[in-house]
Amino acid sequence: MKELEGKRILITGGTGSLGQTLVKRLLRGEMGKPARITVFSRDEAKQHYMRLDFMHLREATDDIIYQNSQDLLNFRIGDVRDYPALLAAMRDADIVFNAAALKQVPSCEYFPFEAILTNVYGAENIVRAIRENKLPVEKVIGISTDKACKPINVMGMTKALQERVLIEANRDCPDTSLMCVRYGNVIASRGSIVPLFVEQVRNNQPLTVTLPEMTRFLLSLHRAVDTVFASITCGNRGETFVPQVASAKMIDVAKALMGEKELEIKFTGIRPGEKVHEIMVSEEECFRTVERGDYYVILPVLPELREEKDFTPALQSEYSSKDKNITVSQLRELLASSSSEIAAFL
């Protein structure tokens, strides 16, 4: 079934790493050919270069994407903080992917209210637009993070609130299905640790790791998009999709990228707001978590929103990155498969 066939799609924060990969796969027609894809974001420069990448290629290396990008893809300047601008963009949307976020942990620690404005007020503006204007939006997918689970930092706290704002809104927006996806560190995404390690190895510099015991969940951009598509395909109102993915020690990621080189590993200490281990499903949530294929699905915290009434919990304890870490050799395979650039580097 092609769930997005003929749909008008709005992607807030669509110029980010996830947004660009999401757009590519939508243009390929994996979920059906949309009627229109609109990238809504506040950075005109990123939109300009994304437009060049998609619409003014010197060679159409992928004819389908090249042609569809000219027919279907458009860009709109705006900010999820700006309710009138967001409302105007949402009037013609059937599906909304909310990828707009302040996501750098230290930045959010230094500017907590800025994180609240984007991550919490932005989500509320989406809900408000639907609720107050009876917009015919069919589905809203909020892009969340493992840091929203038992949050200790501002970014995680605001993302946890974003999840609750969107999920609770199912009570007030009966004709719209609002869901979330929650996942860990995306390999090779902008600002992540893997590109930093690659640069340090290239320059024969020491690799900077926070703590020897620090672990993280790792997944590719395509696995992140798979999770978004899974929520569209088999998600119910108010649910949160969590992919079952590998986790690893950061020191092992450094060793995997170092290869045959023998470079120093420097421990820099934990940064403001960082956790030693990440959790994607908490011990409180595990008792309302079910399994669907390669995903854990957290049922809504509000029992009246749960469509699954009789279920067997899929987990007996929290789903943490400290457990079942993969080896250095397995990491090299995962890293190589996640990005052509990293594969060439390795």
pLDDT averaged per 10 residues, the chain (length 346)? 93 95 93 96 93 69 68 94 98 97 93 98 98 97 97 96 98 97 86 86 93 94 96 97 96 92 92 89 96 97 89 94 94 88 81
Residue 6 in domain: no
Residue 59 in domain: no
- Total of domains in the chain: 1
Please provide the DSSP assignment of 225-284 as one string: HHHHHHHHHH--TT-EEEE--EEEEHHHHHHHHHTT----EEE--PPTT--SS-EEE-TT
Alpha-carbon distances of 165 from 27, 42, 121, 123, rounded to whole Å: 30, 22, 9, 7
Residue 118 in domain: yes
What distance in Å separates the CA atoms of residue 223 and residue 245, rounded to the nearest whole number?
9
Which residues are tagged catalytic?
147
pLDDT per residue as tens digits for the range 253-302 = 999 999 889 899 999 998 888 889 999 999 999 999 999 999 999 999 99
Residue 57 in domain: no
Residue 163 in domain: yes
Which residues, at least 6 apart from 209, have a Cβ–Cβ distance to it below 8 Å? 250, 251, 254, 265, 266, 267, 268
Quote the tokens at residue 184: 């860990």
**Phi, then psi, of 237 in degrees rounded to 5:** -55, 130
What CATH number is given to the structural domain containing 138? Answer: 3.40.50.720
Residue 262 in domain: yes
Q: Is the pTM of this model over 0.85?
A: yes
pLDDT per residue as tens digits for the range 236-252 = 999 999 999 999 999 99
Report the chain's terminal Cα–Cα distance, integer Å: 38
Collapse the DSSP code of 144 into the 3-class scheme (helix H, G, I; strand E, B; otherwise coil) and give the result: strand
Residue 52 in domain: no
pLDDT the model gives residue 341:
79
Please provide the DSSP assignment of 203-227 as one string: TTPPEEES-TT-EEEEE-HHHHHHH
Q: Cβ(289)–Cβ(313) under 8 Å? A: yes
Q: Which domain holds residue 255?
A: 78-345
Residue 63 in domain: no
Alpha-carbon distances of 290 from 159, 196, 301, 308, rounded to whole Å: 22, 36, 13, 9
